[in-house]
């Protein structure tokens, strides 16, 4: 089975712009979660989607949003980018949202200048 | 709230040395516990997991036992290799409360193995 894929792998944006990141889960997986990884804050949970519904949300401002499509693919959007949004954004998929292990993609490295 | 504390690195070992990376957790419910590994420039790979007390997770020579009495999930390997050099993350998932399946991670421990 193909693993979790994320596009693009690298992205450079300017402060104030917005960005959309994409994630395709492992075939058959219906739950997609997003995490932000930074040197200072480590790995932090952003949100989780299951069957096109947001089931759980971390402690991030409303500039961070996401959605899931009927084929379980997910996108996350960050509006009005700030320098502090520079991070590795990781997507993870799992079979359901009931405690199954999560499998991670390679991440999208976002740099905000 | 739920949290994970793991030993600060870096941990520097010679090849074939014994490895222990300590991890303790705080959880209000009955969490599942995980170890993930991250190689340079890559995402996280699930290394092993345990879903209830006294469970032992194992994979690729790594082991960790879910100890409820000490709220710990220490990672061990009897003989490390240079290829084990990476960052190791301890994590928990507690579906019994509002946290859902969100993984809560420790800060990560960098392991460097020299030949």
pLDDT of chain A, 113 residues: tens digit per residue: 789 999 999 999 999 999 999 999 999 999 999 999 999 999 999 999 998 999 889 999 999 999 999 999 999 999 999 999 999 999 999 987 666 789 999 999 999 99
Percent of chain A with pLDDT over 90: 87
Give the model's pLDDT for residue A43. Answer: 95
User: Scanning every residue of chain A, which has its alpha carbon at the shortest distance from the alpha carbon of B101?
Assistant: A99
Tell me the nearest-neighbour CA distance from A45 into chain B, angstroms. Answer: 6
Residues of B in contact with A33 (CB under 8 A): 101-103
CB A4 within 8 A of CB A104: yes
Q: Identify the three-state secondary structure at position A99.
A: coil
CA A11 to CA B47: how far, in whole Å?
29
Contact state of B101 with A98 under an 8 Å Cβ cutoff = yes
Burial class (CB in 10 A: 0-12, 13-18, 19+), A23: buried
Indicate the pLDDT class of residue B94, thresholds 50, 70 and 90.
confident
| DSSP bridge partners of B23 | B6
Q: Would the pLDDT of B100 be above 90?
A: no
Q: Which of B45, B51, B101 is opposite residue A97, by nearest beta carbon?
A: B101
Tokens, residue B78:
């009897």
Q: What is the pLDDT of residues A39-61, one digit of tens each?
A: 999 999 999 999 899 988 999 99
* Predicted local distance difference test score (pLDDT) of residue A101: 85
Whether B92 has a pLDDT exceeding 60, the answer reads: yes
End-to-end CA distance of chain B: 41
For B:45-74, CB contacts with A below 8 A are 45-46, 49, 51
The answer to whether the CB of B61 falls within 8 A of the CB of B55 is no
What residues of chain A have any CB closer than 8 angstroms to a CB in chain B? Answer: 4, 31, 33, 35, 42-43, 45, 48, 55-56, 58, 90, 92, 94, 97-107
Burial A65-79 (b: 16+ CB within 10 A, else e): bbbbeeebbbbbebe
């Amino acid at each position: 089975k193909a693993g979790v894929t994320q596009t693009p792998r690298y992205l450079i944006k300017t402060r104030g712009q917005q960005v959309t990141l994409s994630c395709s889960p492992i075939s058959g997986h219906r739950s997609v979660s997003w995490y932000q990884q930074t040197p200072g804050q480590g790995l932090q949970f952003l949100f989780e989607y299951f069957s096109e519904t947001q089931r759980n949300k971390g402690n991030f401002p409303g500039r961070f949003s996401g959605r899931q499509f009927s084929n379980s693919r997910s996108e996350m959007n960050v509006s009005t980018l700030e320098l502090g949004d520079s991070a590795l954004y990781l997507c993870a998929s799992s079979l359901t949202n009931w405690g199954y292990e999560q499998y991670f993609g390679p991440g999208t490295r976002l740099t905000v200048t | 709230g739920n949290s994970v504390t793991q030993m600060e690195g870096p941990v520097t070992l010679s090849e074939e040395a014994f490895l222990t990376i300590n991890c303790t957790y705080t959880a209000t419910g009955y969490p599942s516990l995980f170890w993930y590994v991250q190689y340079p420039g890559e995402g996280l790979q699930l290394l092993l997991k345990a879903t209830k007390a006294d469970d032992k997770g194992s994979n690729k020579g790594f082991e960790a036992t879910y100890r409820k009495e000490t709220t710990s999930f220490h990672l061990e390997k009897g003989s490390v290799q240079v290829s084990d050099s990476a960052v190791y993350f301890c994590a928990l998932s507690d579906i019994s409360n509002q946290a859902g399946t969100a993984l809560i991670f420790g800060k990560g421990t960098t392991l460097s193995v020299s030949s």
